[in-house]
Amino acid sequence: MVKFIARKLSIMCLTVFLISFAVFFIITLPPGDFLTTYIGRLTAAGESVDPVMIEKLREQYGLDQPFVIQYWRWFSNIIFHGDFGYSFSLAMPVTTIIRAYIVPTMVLSLVTMLFTYLISIPVGIYSAVHQYSVGDYAFTTIGFLGQAIPNFLLAIILMFLSFRWTGDTMLGLFSPGMQNAPWSMAKFLDLAKHSIIPIIVIGTGNTCGLMRTMRSQMLDELNKNYVMTGKAKGMKAAAIRYKYCVRAAVNPIVSSIGWSLVGIFTGSTVTAIVLNLPSMGAIMYSALIDQDMYLAGSWLFLMAIVTVVGTFISDILLAWLDPRARKEYLKG
Amino acid sequence: MKTKSIKKEYTISGDNILEVRDLQVDIKMDDYVLNAVRGVNFSMKKGETLGLVGESGCGKSVTSKEILGINPNNCTGRGEILYRTKSGKVINLLELEKDGTVYRALRGAEIAMIFQEPMTAFSPLYTVGNQIGEIIKLHDPKATKAQIRERVLEMLKKVGIANPERRIDQYPHEFSGGMLQRALIAMMLCCNPDFLIADEPTTALDVTIQAQILELMKSLQKEFGMSILFITHDLGVVSNICDKVAVMYLGQIVEYGTAKQIFHDPKHPYTQGLLKSLPKMDSSREEQLYVIEGVVPLPVNLAPSCGFAKRCPNFIQGKCDCQNISEYEAEPGHMVRCVLMEREEQKDE
Amino acid sequence: MEKVRTNKKDTRTKQEKKNDKYYYASQWSLIGRKFKKHKLAMVSTYILLFFYIVTIFGNFVAPQGTEQYDGRYVNCAPTKVHMFHEGKFVGPFVYGLKMERNPETYMLMFAENEEEIYRIRFFAQGEEGSEYKILGLIPCNLHLFVPEEGGKLFLFGTDNMGRDLFSRVIHGAKISLFIPIVGMLLTLILGLFMGSLAGYFGGWIDTVIQRLVEVVRSFPQVPLWMALSAAIPKTLKPAQVFMLMTLILSLISWPDLSRVVRSKFISVKKEDYIMAAQISGASVASVIIRHMIPSFISYIIVNMTMAIPNLIIGETTLSFLGLGLRSPATSWGVLLQETNKLETIMFYGWKLIPMLFVFLTVLAFNFMGDGLRDAADPYK
Min CA distance, B13 vs chain C (Å)? 41
Single-letter residue type at B101: T
**The predicted structure's pLDDT at residue A164:** 81
Integer Cα distance of C297 and B8 in angstroms: 58
DSSP conformational letter for B322: S
Can you tell me the distance from the alpha carbon of C375 to that of A24, in angstroms, rounded to the nearest whole number?
44
Query: Which chain B residue has the Cα nearest residue C19?
Result: B298
Contact B138 A234 (CB under 8 A): yes
Chain A residues 294-323 with a CB less than 8 Å from chain C: 296-297, 299-300, 303-304, 307-308, 311
Q: Count CB neighbours of C342 within 10 A.
A: 14
Residue of C nearest to A152 (CA): C317
Instruction: Supply the pLDDT for residue B165.
Output: 93
Interface test with B, best of A130, A226, A233, A317 (most B CBs within 10 A): A233
* Same domain, yes or no: C268 and C148: no
A180-184, B124-128, C37-41, C47-51: segment of lowest average pLDDT: A180-184
| Four-CA torsion C81, C86, C90, C91, nearest 10 degrees | 30
Does one domain contain both C140 and C99? yes
Q: Choose from C5, C37, C379 for mutation: most chain B CBs within 10 A.
A: C5
In chain C, % of residues over pLDDT 70: 90
A-chain residues within 8 Å CB-CB of C321? 152, 270, 273, 285
In-domain check, residue C24? no
User: Cα distance from C77 to chain A (closest Cα, Å)?
Assistant: 19
Please, what is the Cα angle at C170 between C168 and C171, to 5 degrees?
Answer: 65
The residue count for chain A: 332
Cβ C340–A156 below 8 Å, yes or no?
Answer: yes
Contact B138 A232 (CB under 8 A): no
Beta carbons of B317 and C4 less than 8 Å apart: yes
How far away is chain A from the Cα of B8, in angstroms, using its nearest Cα?
25
Q: Which of A53-67, C162-176, C219-233 has the lowest mean pLDDT?
A: A53-67
Contact flag C12-B310 (C-beta cutoff 8 Å): yes
* Best residue of C7, C13, C30 to probe chain B, by most B CBs closer than 10 Å: C13
Q: How far is the C-alpha of C319 from the C-alpha of C339, rounded, in Å?
A: 12
What are the chain B neighbours of A224 within 8 Å (beta carbons)? Answer: 120, 123
Examine residue C250 and state whether it is found in any structural domain, yes or no: yes
For chain C, the domain total comes to 2
Alpha carbon separation from C127 to A300, B133, C55, C92, C113 (Å, rounded) = 50, 84, 20, 19, 21
> Which position has the higher pLDDT, B57 or C108?
B57
CB contact (8 A) between residue C19 and residue B297: yes
B80: distance to nearest CA of chain A, Å? 20
CB contact under 8 A, C1 and B298: no
Q: Is residue C46 one of the residues assigned to a domain?
A: no
C356 touches chain A (CB under 8 A): no
pLDDT number for residue C14: 55
Q: Say yes or no: B174 contacts chain A, CB-CB below 8 A.
A: yes
Among C residues 174-233, those touching chain A with beta carbons less than 8 Å apart:
211-212, 214-224, 226-228, 230-231, 233
Asked, for residue C236, whether it belongs to a domain, the answer is: yes
How far away is chain B from the Cα of A119, in angstroms, using its nearest Cα? 24
Q: Are B64 and B231 in contact (CB under 8 A)?
A: yes
Class of domain A102-144+204-331: mainly alpha
Greatest mean pLDDT among A43-47, B210-214, C263-267: B210-214
In a domain, C31, yes or no: no
The DSSP 8-state label assigned to residue B39 in this structure reads E
Query: What is the average pLDDT value for chain A, to the nearest integer?
Result: 81
Q: Is the dihedral of CA A68, A74, A77, A82 positive or negative?
A: negative
Q: Answer yes or no: do C226 and A18 touch at CB < 8 A.
A: no
Q: Does C320 touch chain A (CB under 8 A)?
A: yes
Q: What are C132-170's pLDDT values in tens digits?
A: 777 777 787 778 878 777 777 787 877 777 788 888 888
**Residue C7: per-residue pLDDT:** 41
Both C191 and C273 in a single domain? yes
If you count residue pairs, one on A and one on B, with CB atoms under 8 Å apart, how many are there?
Answer: 75
Same domain, C92 and C138: yes
Residues C117 and C180 in one domain: no
Q: Say whether C215 and A297 touch across the interface (CB within 8 A).
A: no
Q: What are the residue ranges spanned by the domains of chain A?
A: 31-83, 102-144+204-331
Nearest-CB residue to B298 (from C5, C8, C19): C19
pLDDT average per 10 residues of sequence, chain B (349 residues): 56 86 88 87 91 87 91 88 89 89 91 90 92 92 92 92 92 90 92 91 84 89 90 86 91 91 90 83 71 79 81 82 82 87 65
What string of H, E and C letters represents the secondary structure of chain C?
CHHHHHHHHHHCCHHHHHHHHHHHCCHHHHHHHHHHHCHHHHHHHHHHHHHHHHHHCHHHHCCCCCCCCCCCCCCCCCCCCEEEECCEEEEEEEEEEEEEECCCCCCEEEEEEEEEEEEEEEEEECCCCCCEEECCCEEECEEEEEECCCCCCCCCCECCCCCEHHHHHHHHHHHHHHHHHHHHHHHHHHHHHHHHHHHHHCHHHHHHHHHHHHHHHHCCHHHHHHHHHHCCCCCCCHHHHHHHHHHHHHHHHHHHHHHHHHHHHHHHHCCHHHHHHHHCCCCHHHHHHHHHHHHHHHHHHHHHHHHHHHHHHHHHHHHHCCCCCCCCCCCHHHHHHHHHCHHHHHHCHHHHHHHHHHHHHHHHHHHHHHHHHHHHCCCC
Q: Do B107 and A234 touch (CB under 8 A)?
A: yes
Among A192-206, A315-329, B203-217, the minimum mean pLDDT is found in A315-329
pLDDT of residue A125 exceeding 80:
yes
Q: Which residues of A touch B113 (CB under 8 A)?
A: 232
Length of chain B: 349
| Secondary structure of B128-196 as H, E, C letters | HHHHHHHHHHHHCCCCCHHHHHHHHHHHHHHCCCCCHHHHCCCCHHHCCHHHHHHHHHHHHHCCCCCEE
Higher local confidence (pLDDT), B98 or A276: B98
Name the band, by pLDDT with cuts 50, 70 and 90, for residue A141. confident
User: Which among C3, C7, C10, C16 is the top mutation candidate for probing chain B, defined by the most B β-carbons within 10 Å of its own β-carbon?
Assistant: C16
CA distance C11 to chain B (A): 8
Model pLDDT, residue C377 = 65
- Give the chain A residue whose CA is nearest to the CA of B120: A225
Judgement on whether residues C143 and C184 belong to the same structural domain of the protein: no
Interface probe with C: pick from A27, A270, A299, most Cβ of C within 10 Å: A270
Sort out which chain C residues have CB atoms less than 8 A from B310's CB and list them: 8, 11-12
Question: Which of C12, C15, C35, C36 to substitute to test the interface with B, most B CBs within 10 Å?
Answer: C15
pLDDT at A236 over 70: yes
Q: Quick one: closest CA in A to B115, which residue?
A: A229
Same domain, C221 and C145: no
Which residue range is the domain that position C106 belongs to? 63-163
Q: Which residue of A has its CA nearest to C229?
A: A288
| Of residues C265 and B65, more confidently modeled | B65
Question: Does any domain span residue C328?
Answer: yes
CATH number at residue C242: 1.10.3720.10
Point out the domain boundary residue: C133, C163, C193: C163
pLDDT at B32: 83
Residue B195: the pLDDT is 93
CA distance C29 to chain B (A): 18
- Set of chain C residues whose Cβ sits within 8 Å of the Cβ of A332: none
Q: Which of C134, C163, C192 is the last residue of a domain?
A: C163
- C159 and C171 housed in the same domain: no
- Residue-wise pLDDT for C281-292, tens only, equals 888 888 888 888
**Taking residues C122-139, what's their average pLDDT?**
76
Give yes or no: residues C362 and C291 share one domain: yes
Q: Are residue C145 and residue C235 in the same domain, yes or no? A: no
| Per-residue pLDDT tens digits for B99-139 | 889 999 999 999 999 998 888 899 988 999 999 999 999 99
In a shared domain, residues C123 and C177: no
Predicted local distance difference test score (pLDDT) of residue C267: 79
Interchain proximity A152–C320, CB inside 8 Å:
yes
User: C352 or A120: which carries more pLDDT confidence?
Assistant: A120
CB atoms within 10 A of CB B328: 18
Looking at chain B, which subunits does it touch, using at least 3 CB pairs closer than 8 Å as the criterion? Answer: A, C
C150 lies in the same domain as C177: no
Residue C282 lies in a domain: yes
Query: Which of C117, C141, C163 is the endpoint of a domain?
Result: C163
The answer, for B231 touching chain A at a CB cutoff of 8 Å, is no
Residue A332 scores a pLDDT above 50: no
